[in-house]
C-alpha cells in the first residue's frame, strides 16, 4: 500500500522559513514526479475539489515552480530516503494553507495539474501569522 506522509508544518511569523517533508512508503519514489500543492486558506474541509488545489512545486528530473512562488520555495529529493522536501522562505500570511504532497506513476505527466497524480498525502497545516 502506497502512503505519503507530510510533516514539518506549523505556525510561524511572517518572514520565517519552514521545511516540509514528504516520506513515501510502499514504493520507491525513484525519479517519479512528486509535487507539492496547497489548499487555499479559507477553503478547509474535504469538500474542496482536487482540481482547486494550488500548484506549488514539483520535481521530476528538474524542479518546476509556480511562478508566484519562484524564489521563495525550493523542492528537493532524497531518493535513498524516499523523501521529497519543500523549503519555504519569507513566508507570508497568504501562504497559510494545508500543504499536500503527491506522486505520479506516469513519468510523463503535466506536473502542474492535481489530476496528474495518483497518490496523495493527508496534508500538513502551515499557518503564517503575526
pLDDT tens-digit profile of 93-102? Answer: 999 999 999 9
pLDDT tens across 43-99, in order?
555 556 777 899 999 999 899 999 999 999 999 999 999 999 999 999 999 999 999
> Which of 5-19, 32-46, 70-84, 104-118 has the weakest average pLDDT?
32-46
- Residues ≥6 apart with Cβ < 8 Å to 55: 35, 37, 66, 111, 112, 113, 114
Average the pLDDT over 37-45 and give the result: 71
The cell numbers describing 48, all together, are: 474542496
Amino acid at each position: 500500500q502506497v502512503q505519503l506522509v507530510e510533516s514539518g508544518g506549523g505556525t510561524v511569523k511572517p518572514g520565517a522559513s519552514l521545511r516540509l517533508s514528504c516520506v513515501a512508503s510502499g514504493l520507491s519514489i525513484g525519479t517519479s514526479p512528486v509535487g507539492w500543492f496547497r489548499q487555499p486558506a479559507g477553503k478547509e474541509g474535504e469538500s474542496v475539489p482536487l482540481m482547486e488545489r494550488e500548484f506549488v512545486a514539483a520535481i521530476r528530473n528538474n524542479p518546476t515552480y509556480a511562478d508566484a512562488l519562484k524564489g521563495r520555495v525550493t523542492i528537493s529529493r532524497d531518493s535513498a530516503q524516499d523523501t521529497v522536501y519543500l523549503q519555504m522562505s519569507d513566508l507570508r500570511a497568504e501562504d497559510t494553507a494545508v500543504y499536500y504532497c503527491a506522486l505520479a506513476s506516469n513519468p510523463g505527466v503535466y506536473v502542474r495539474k492535481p489530476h496528474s497524480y495518483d497518490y496523495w498525502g493527508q496534508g500538513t497545516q502551515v499557518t503564517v501569522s503575526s
